[in-house]
Amino acid sequence: MTRRTRRNHTSAFKAKVAMAALKGDKTLAELAQAFDVHANQITQWKTQLQDGAAGLFGSGSGSTETKTPAPDIKVLHAKIGELTLENDFLEGALIKAGMLSAKR
Q: Given this model, what pLDDT does residue 4 score?
A: 79
Mean pLDDT, consecutive 10-residue stretches, the chain (104 aa), reads 85 93 92 94 93 76 64 93 95 87 61
Q: Given this model, what pLDDT does residue 66 score?
A: 63
Q: Given this model, what pLDDT does residue 102 score?
A: 59
Residue spans per domain, the chain: 9-54, 72-104
Residues in the chain: 104
Q: Which amino acid is at 17?
A: V
CA distance 47 to 17: 12
pTM: 0.52
Q: Given this model, what pLDDT does residue 3 score?
A: 84
Q: Given this model, what pLDDT does residue 64 score?
A: 54
Q: Given this model, what pLDDT does residue 54 score?
A: 79
